[in-house]
Amino acid sequence: MQIESDDTMPLRTSDDVVRVRQAVRARAVAIGFSLVDQTKIVTAASEIARNTVDYGGGGEMRVEVLRNGQRRGVRLTFSDSGPGIRDIDQAMRDGFTTGNGLGLGLSGAKRLCNDFDIKSAPGSGTTVTIARWT
């Protein structure tokens, strides 16, 4: 597998979330994703990016464009050094239905991507990696 490009962007403010969306969209278009696939990865990125800003105390996103044989993909890694998630399984189950406004949206984002990985622990921050392929 080759890495065709690799960039990192800060994620501290709402404006950064907007920039992240634009950056992901640009790469998705360049790879040749269908409109629906573009929308899915940008939406997933927006969800995780907002989490990073709102609950992670801010962090950064790394965006890689990959090639694996015939297929090309976008891989996004969101990391923060915030409070971390105590119970990841629970967080993945809650989705938007907690009603208390948290709605981490992790499960939703997972459904929108081909690859999803999350590492987090209280006090150690959170790292979420998502990817979508042609």
Partner 1 sequence: MAEIPILRIGDCLLISIQVDMHDRLALALQDDLTQRIVADRARGVMIDISALEIVDSFIGRMLNNIAAMSKVLDAVTVVVGMRPAVAITLVELGLGLTGVRTALNVDKGLALIRRIIDNPERDDADRER
Q: Contact positions toward partner 1, by CB under 8 A?
A: 14-15, 17-18, 21, 25, 35-36, 38-40, 42-43, 46-47, 50, 95-96, 101, 103, 105, 107-109, 111-112
Q: Tell me what percent of the chain is helix, strand and coil, each rounded to the nearest 5.
A: 40, 35, 30
Asked whether the CA dihedral 15, 19, 22, 28 is positive or negative, the reply is negative
How near is the Cβ of 111 to partner 1 at its closest, in Å? 5
Residue 42 or 65 with smaller CB distance to partner 1 = 42
Q: Measured between alpha carbons, how far is 49 from 115 in angstroms, rounded to an integer?
A: 17
Contact 51, 104 (CB under 8 A): yes
User: Please, what is the minimum distance in Å from the beta carbon of residue 96 to partner 1?
Assistant: 6
Which residue, 25 or 62, is less far from partner 1 as judged by CB?
25
Q: How far is the CB of 14 from partner 1 (least distance, A)?
A: 3
